[in-house]
Structure 1
Amino acid sequence: MNTKKLIFSTVVIFIMYVLMDLTFYGLFEEKMAGKADRPASEQNQLLPFIFFGLFLASFLFSYLFDKLSDGEDKIREGTKYRIILGTFMYLPLFLIFYATRDTRPLDAWLINAAFHIIQFGIFGIVVAYIRGKVIIDSSGE
């Protein structure tokens, strides 16, 4: 495992995570707001926890890439990664949140899960390029 590439991919994924989440939740703020959410003023005070959580997820995402990739092409690796990690992390979690957390409609949770599964696919492709895990090119050389 190349430590420099691990650190670099962690930082890149963290920045992408923050920017994509801010954009998504900014666009769908009304749909994603739930009654169990903390008031914005409290959320702002807890931003260090949010950023630490996103950074930790970025590190684990980058670290696990080596364990789950097998040297296929970058698009295939990103797609496989999206299906494995994105679905594993978000779909069950958001179904549980729908049943236990608040009165947000099911479609909001499913849209949220779909966004993160797609987001993880993008992250997987980016990490594949950064980590250079591609062995086979399209010409077979």
Structure 2
Amino acid sequence: MRRELSDLILQNRFLDVYGECGNVDYACNIFDLIEVKNIVSWTSMISCYVHNGLAYEALELSSYMVISGVELDSIALLSVLSAAADLSALRKGKEIHGYLLRKCFVLDGSIAISLVDMYASCGTVDHSYKVFCHH
């Protein structure tokens, strides 16, 4: 068990490093090799996609993550909101906002800023303003 945990920590770190260096293919290979992915594995791969301009892939992976039974945490949600903003994907952004509300996330700090940015990037300044004023 301990070796598996240290292997997972190392694999997750490789995902981060490859993503930061722009080696998306290597990151994908590592991600595919991870047998039991944890929240860090999923978030690292989503962040890798966003960091490398692959917002659509990030949104697809986040959907698959939820289907796989892994709950999005605030760190993953920041990347997913960034991907939605990059694509001006208003519908997906609203889905994420709804998810945040249903899961009782506190909409302050980074989450609120990301929501404001996402709505503004989607051209809905009124939604952006409402989030800004309420949080």
Larger Rg: 1
Q: Give the TM-score normalised by structure 2.
A: 0.27
